[in-house]
Structure 1
Amino acid sequence: MVRWQINLVVLWLGQFLVMGGMTMIVPFLPLYLQDLGLTDSHEIATWAGIIFAGNFVTSFLFQPFWGSLADRYGRKVMLLRSGFGMAIVMTLMGFATNAWQLLILRMLNGTISGFAPAAVALMSTNTPKERIGFAMGTLQSGAVAGTILGPFIGGLLAEWIGFRYIFYITGTLLFIASLLTWWLVKEKFNAREAAAKPKVSIAQSFELIRHVKQLPSLYAVTFIIQFAMLSTMPLMPLFVGELHGQSEGLAFFAGLVSSITGFSNMVASPLLGRLSDRIGPERILAICLIGAAVLFVPQALVHNVWQLFAARFGLGIFMGGLLPTVNALIRKYTPEGMESRSYSFNTSALSLGNMSGPVIGGALSGLLTIRELFIASAVVLLLNSYWVYKTLYRNHSRLNPRAQQTS
């Protein structure tokens, strides 16, 4: 294997473990809070929502800071900082004795996180240009696989070994993944050249990036993907119950419908990434944005669980082509030396979508049915595709964006 392929394998494993570790607590978090002494069901539900969201709040705020350090000191350093840091924090969660301690540790985990944008930035700057699409797609599949399998593995382990030991196991696996990154991942990074460049604040970095018209458009794609996908999730079990009836197997079908999009996403991401290397990421992005918008519509028209299952499987295929092509295009349009900062702003947009999607979707549930929310998501994606057309296609300069920025 050549160097970039070794990097990809190790970072795929790291992405899988990081995302799996962050989502592994989802199935048993309310039960763990009961173990910590909470008894009132409303209080448990409130704390569970706050604790789960706390990770994304601090991640949204701190990603640009870590991105600026990565561009100055190297992406591998940020991978190790994030990996070893999260390994320690995840282990400490197993020692929590009350909900406040667990919340603080989740927020600390979000603060020191940054493995994903550092991994993407390292791969994008250390992979041959003709293979970037495939690398971004494969890396994305690792994150999606962790997100899908994390809750499943967490639920199984909770039954077998108890809640606290899951945190110890997750911390150990993150530590091992960080060691593999330290030993096996190699980065081409000129530290002297980076140090010689003038220091630029986060606000100045955002101002520089904002003037590259394509980048805000790509950040919007990331935000809207997450927002559209998660805005319907709080109502999905109820919708499955409406279609299937309150009968045996409801929990199984609710979980299946929720996870099938991730499975098709995981399979499609490397394939669409490879295709984008051949025909261009712009075309894949356009096709997948419109395809995802169209596939939201059948979900509003289904009459049984299997129709919903098929529609969400198709949605996952188109979703699998969005984030990898967004990452490839961010690399294309980002000024030289600002890759990590650019990816960190994209990660902040992703965290913002993760936070606001379920909250706003839940709030709108009093005004709109889930079928109407599916249509609203389709409209939002279509509007986003039109904005992408204006900013990414119609108004983009024929000059190389890096050269344009330099001049």
Structure 2
Amino acid sequence: MNNWKLNLIVLWFGNFLVMAGMTMIIPFLPLYIQQLGITDPGKVAFWSGIVFAGNFVTSFIFQPIWGKLADRHGRKVMLLRSGFGMALVMVLMGFAGNVWHLFLLRMLNGTISGFVPAAVALMSTTTPREKIGFSMGTLQSGGTAGSILGPFIGGLLAEWVGFRPIFYITGTLLFFASMLAMIVVKEKFDASKAAKLPNVSVVAGLKELGKIPQLTSLFTVTFLIQFSMLSSMPLIPLFVQHLHGEGQMLAFFAGLVGSITGFSNMIASPLLGRLGDRIGQEKVLGLSLIGAAVMFIPQALVQNVWQLFAARFMLGMFMGGLLPSVNALIRKYTPDGMESRSYSFNSSFLALGNMIGPVVGGALSGLITIRGIFLIATVMLIANAVWVRKTLIRRSPVAGQGS
């Protein structure tokens, strides 16, 4: 088997386990916080949000630093640093004595994270150019599958073994995934060549990459995608409750609607990635943005849960062409030797969208309801598609970059 294919298989499972581990705590996080001594319902809700967001805050800050080091010392080294580091921190979360311990460990986890962008950067530099879209789409499906199944697995394990053992199990799985990557994943990295490159700071690197208009556009597109998608996500269970009422199986329907987008995304990502290899990633990105924008409109008009289910399934199909296309295009426009840094900056913009989207959506929901937020997402994604057409589709590729 070609090295890039073997890398893709191993890193697919690595992405799956990392994202599953990150989302596995969602179903029982408030209950675990109660177990740590916080009993007031208001304080439990407050700490649940703070603890969950802590990971994204430090991730946003530190991703570019790890990206710079990856370009100088190799992507595989950063991959293993993150994998083994998160395995240890995850186990320590199971020993948390109070909520402050858990909060600080979540922030530490975000600080040392970076497995996914390192995996993307490694695959982008080892995959043949004509297969890059398929590679990025398949890799994305691994992370998406982990995000979908993580809460489900976490909920089941919480019933079977309790809260603390889940952290031990997750840490152990991350350790073995990192060991597998260390043994199997191959990277052709010329350390002597990388050492000769100018040792520019993180800020200087951002300024240098910012001079490439296509990359600036892609970073912003990533932020707007996540902002648009996440602005309504925390409100979906309440919307399902509004549509379904307080009857039986409410939790089941809320989980079903929440996960179906991820399932269709997982299916579509490799297919749209392969299509992008044939017709161009810029076109797939533009069409996916328009399709996702259109699919938010019926969500604002639905009258029952099954209509919402169908609309969100179709939304996931178009979402499958968004981030994989962005990742393939970043490789296309990034100068050689700066791939990891470029992907890390993009990961920071993604984390920023993950942080700000739910906050703004929650704040606006009291004024315009979730139906209005769906329509705002439509407008933002259409504007995004227009920008992609102007900055990417109409521009010719930069010669000599991303070879």
Range class of TM-score, shorter chain: over 0.9
Is the 1:292–1:315 Cα contact (8 Å) retained in structure 2? Answer: yes
Q: How much has 1:274 moved relative to structure 2?
A: 1.1
**Counterpart residue number, 2:295:** 295
**Counterpart residue number, 1:227:** 227
Gaps of 5+ in 2: none
**Counterpart residue number, 2:160:** 160
CA deviation string 1:91-111 (max 9, x = no partner): 000000100000000000000
Q: How much has 1:280 moved relative to structure 2?
A: 1.2
**Counterpart residue number, 1:199:** 199
CA deviation string 1:170-205 (max 9, x = no partner): 000000000001000000110000011110101111
Is the 1:334–1:401 Cα contact (8 Å) retained in structure 2? Answer: no
Is the 2:333–2:398 Cα contact (8 Å) retained in structure 1? Answer: no
- Aligned positions of 1:2-401 closer than 5 A: 2-394=2-394, 396-397=395-396, 399-400=398-399
Gaps of 5+ in 1: none
Q: Which moved more, 1:216-225 or 1:83-92?
A: 216-225
Q: How much has 1:402 moved relative to structure 2?
A: 2.0
CA deviation string 1:314-358 (max 9, x = no partner): 000000011101000000000111000000011001101111111
Distance across 2 between alignment mates of 1:246 and 1:41: 21
Name the SS of the counterpart of 2:34 in structure 1.
helix
Displaced runs of 4 or more, over 3 A: none
Q: How much has 1:234 moved relative to structure 2?
A: 2.2
Distance across 1 between alignment mates of 2:235 and 2:149: 21
Q: How much has 1:258 moved relative to structure 2?
A: 0.8
Is the 2:282–2:388 Cα contact (8 Å) retained in structure 1? Answer: no
- Give the partner amino acid of 2:187: E
TM-score for both structures, normalised by structure 2: 0.98
Distance across 1 between alignment mates of 2:396 and 2:291: 26
- Give the partner amino acid of 1:241: Q
**Counterpart residue number, 1:402:** 401
Distance across 2 between alignment mates of 1:159 and 1:220: 41
Q: How much has 1:399 moved relative to structure 2?
A: 4.3
Alignment length, in residue pairs? 403
- Give the partner amino acid of 1:247: G
Q: How much has 1:62 moved relative to structure 2?
A: 0.2
Is the 1:76–1:187 Cα contact (8 Å) retained in structure 2? Answer: yes
CA deviation string 1:251-281 (max 9, x = no partner): 1111111110000000100111111111111
- Give the partner amino acid of 2:326: V
Distance across 2 between alignment mates of 1:352 and 1:304: 32
Name the SS of the counterpart of 1:303 in structure 2.
coil
Distance across 2 between alignment mates of 1:211 and 1:37: 51
TM-score for both structures, normalised by structure 1: 0.97
| 1:356/1:398 CA distance change after superposition, 3 Å | closer
- Give the partner amino acid of 1:25: I
Distance across 2 between alignment mates of 1:236 and 1:267: 22
| 1:364/1:401 CA distance change after superposition, 3 Å | farther
Aligned-pair identity (%): 70
Distance across 2 between alignment mates of 1:181 and 1:365: 43
Is the 2:218–2:326 Cα contact (8 Å) retained in structure 1? Answer: yes
Name the SS of the counterpart of 1:246 in structure 2.
coil
Distance across 1 between alignment mates of 2:233 and 2:67: 30
- Give the partner amino acid of 2:6: I
Distance across 2 between alignment mates of 1:243 and 1:232: 15
Name the SS of the counterpart of 1:369 in structure 2.
helix
Name the SS of the counterpart of 2:301 in structure 1.
coil
Is the 1:11–1:181 Cα contact (8 Å) retained in structure 2? Answer: yes
- Give the partner amino acid of 2:107: M
Distance across 2 between alignment mates of 1:389 and 1:115: 31
Distance across 2 between alignment mates of 1:346 and 1:239: 31
| 1:398/1:85 CA distance change after superposition, 3 Å | closer
Is the 2:333–2:397 Cα contact (8 Å) retained in structure 1? Answer: no
| 1:80/1:302 CA distance change after superposition, 3 Å | same
Name the SS of the counterpart of 2:252 in structure 1.
helix
- Give the partner amino acid of 1:57: V
